[in-house]
Amino acid sequence: MSIEILISFCLASAALAVSPGPDNIFVLVQSLTYGRKSGIAIVCGLISGCIVHTTLVAFGAAALIKANDNLFLVLKLLGAAYMLYLAFKVYRGPDKLELKAEDIRRQNFSGLFKTGFIMNVINPKVSIFFLAFFPGFLFSETMGTVTQFYILGFLFMAVSFVIFSAIALLAGTISEYTNSHPGIGKVFKWMQIIVFLLIGLLILLSEK
């Protein structure tokens, strides 16, 4: 077992969770609009939805890798290419960080949890991302591939939960900072680009 690979995976997951995206911006706006508890409820739903995607990817990708070792190389190349595509997509996007409170309705905890869960589960991009991300961080030659995928999935969920919850709890401070620093959107944009490129490189350098 390679602890270094797991540490690299956790650091990459943390960088992704911090980088502004639809999920953490939604958490931030919900927290600003209806309070921290509402934001935490959304976080719990979003993170729980990752279990579904982890399961789909664990059994699907594990079967592919088990069937043919060469497919591991194909998955690596596709994963790195997908990260490059995500970096390019961010590069072509706007520099401005927009925090919109539109279409957010007041709900109870269970309703907000369900909203977050459904938002995550119905998004096929999450499974595609996991399929691109996880194979490059397999960390053991003796442990089963499915088990490794589940460990990576739960590590990803744990790291994301901590960071998303921090965003919910610090929503007011984050909002004030972004409003008083108009250029922060450009900084976040390039941070995302660098994160995606670095993860792509890590995937390419990974070994089965």
Q: Which long-range contacts (CB under 8 A, 24 or more apart) does 34-38 make?
A: 34/104, 34/106, 36/168, 36/169, 36/171, 37/109, 38/106, 38/107, 38/109, 38/112
pLDDT tens digits along 172-188: 787 677 767 777 777 76
Q: List Cβ neighbours of 124 (8 Å cut-off, separation of 6 or more).
A: none
What is the pLDDT at residue 100?
56
pTM, two decimal places: 0.77
Tell me how many domains the chain contains.
1
**What's the CA gap between 137 and 143, in Å, rounded?**
13
Domain that holds residue 184: 3-96+105-205
What letters, b where the CB count within 10 A reaches 16 and e where it falls short, cover 15-45?
A: bbbbbbeebbebbbbbbbebebebbbbbbbb
**Per the structure block, which two tokens stand in for 183?**
């250029």
What is the pLDDT at residue 103?
47
Q: Which residues of the chain have pLDDT under 50?
A: 103-104
What is the pLDDT at residue 165?
95
What is the pLDDT at residue 107?
61
Determine phi and psi for 156, rounding to 5 degrees.
-60, -45
Residue of 71, 59, 68 lying closest to 145 (CA atoms): 59
End-to-end Cα separation, the chain, in angstroms: 12
